[in-house]
Amino acid sequence: MLHFRGTIGFRKTLGIRRTLTHDAPSSSSASRLPSASASATLKPSTAPKAASLPQILRNLPRLFPRSMTDSIRDYSQFKTNPEFFQDRLLSQLSFYPSLYNNNSNDTSGNDDPRQGQIIKTYVNENEYINEFQILPNTSTPYDRLKHLILIHGYGAGLGFYINTLQHLSMDNWCIHAVDLPGYGFSSRLKFPYGTINPRIYSKKDVLDWFQKRLKTWFHKKGLLAHPENNLVTAHSMGAYIMCHYLNNHPSDFRKIIMCSPAGFYPASNPLTNIPLWYTYLWDRNYSPFSLVRISGPLGSKLTSGWSYSRFFHSNQTISNELSLALHTYAYSIFNLPGSGEYSLSHILKAGGDPRTPLQEEFFTCQSTTNNGIRRSNVEYSWLYGQSDWINKTGGFKISQFLNSLNKKSNVFIAPNSGHHLYFDNYMWFNSYLAKEMTLFN
């Protein structure tokens, strides 16, 4: 049974192991904010790996805790209206007027003045990008607001930023939580670049597919009139995509925050003896999402193998209701037709190492394809979880290179967190973003 963990989101269990190490410079060379307490009991994050079939069978009841009754109910609701689950998750926000849930928050008597709404922006005739936009209670015109753009990672969606959407608020800031093209509840047309075939198309073709749609979204949202007001925060694979976007469009935002960025630097402890069948399936875009889609009423139960471990931590400071809403949201976006996720095998090798590390491609003196990054005045921050499986060395080396070009770049380590640092320690993460937003002002 296929399961992937790490950059990615879907927790698994298959047969390849990696010992977690940290080959970063000493903590004294990393910038730190005052520590906020962790929001959950943290399980160390690991790279995509595998466990033996007997181990899977032995742990089967514990691996998939969602009951069959609940799984069937989730499937029935998904077939009726998949977006119900996005709405139910966002209904946990104090300022969101639910469209479908009669028992959700009534915002009529709410003292939270923010306005939140789902917006679908068409980027061509048949495709749209789904976002959750939060407007502040201000008389400042939209084109004079500051804009925080939140970009998720592989297999994820805008809803995974729920703890930031609820708790982060600042005057004169508009927040855009975006579903990448082919992800979340953005349109899911057939991805034109399937399995790896460099004779037909290149990695550039794959990344251009994202960039063209994102560029149109930035334009249609009016964010290019004052790009100096734009702050982009991107996680994991989203950081990889936005780095390429920056190289091609070097003046579309003022700062980018790379959160546990995947694909930038090789692992400190490379995987060895990867089974051929694992590589075969990886290169052909078979994933746990494929299993969810063909499992029908069992899909939500399968999803719980990852989501319950991720969202139902002991000593978690979020409610069981929110944890459940996150589970059903994850199930719904995993179960939608595959599209943008099929870019993964073009960017990462089986096991999670980059095919072409971006540190080598863009951030060395020998790089020849980084003209946009060299010309750009964009500022950088690199965020890693304390127990992150992503190799922090990449962030330090890249920052050193950027500093040598007189560009601002710093590395921060989020305490008590792993790869999903925006969730593992959302209080620290939100505090960090608030500090950056204040500096913008």
Q: Which positions are catalytic?
A: 236, 388, 419
**Burial class, 215, CB count within 10 angstroms (exposed 0-12 / middle 13-18 / buried 19+):** middle
Beta-bridge partner residues of 256: 232, 380
Q: At a CB cut-off of 8 Å and minimum separation 6, what does 102 contact?
A: none
396 φ, ψ (degrees, to nearest 5): -65, -45
C-alpha–C-alpha distance, residues 370 and 1, integer Å:
40
Going by the DSSP 8-state scheme, the letter that residue 149 receives in this structure is E
Distance spanning both ends of the chain, measured CA to CA: 50
**Burial class, 55, CB count within 10 angstroms (exposed 0-12 / middle 13-18 / buried 19+):** middle
Q: Where are the beta strands (DSSP E) in 127-270?
A: 128-135, 146-151, 173-178, 230-235, 255-259
Residue 270 CB neighbours (<10 A): 13
Nearest to 390 by CA among 360, 428, 423, 418: 418
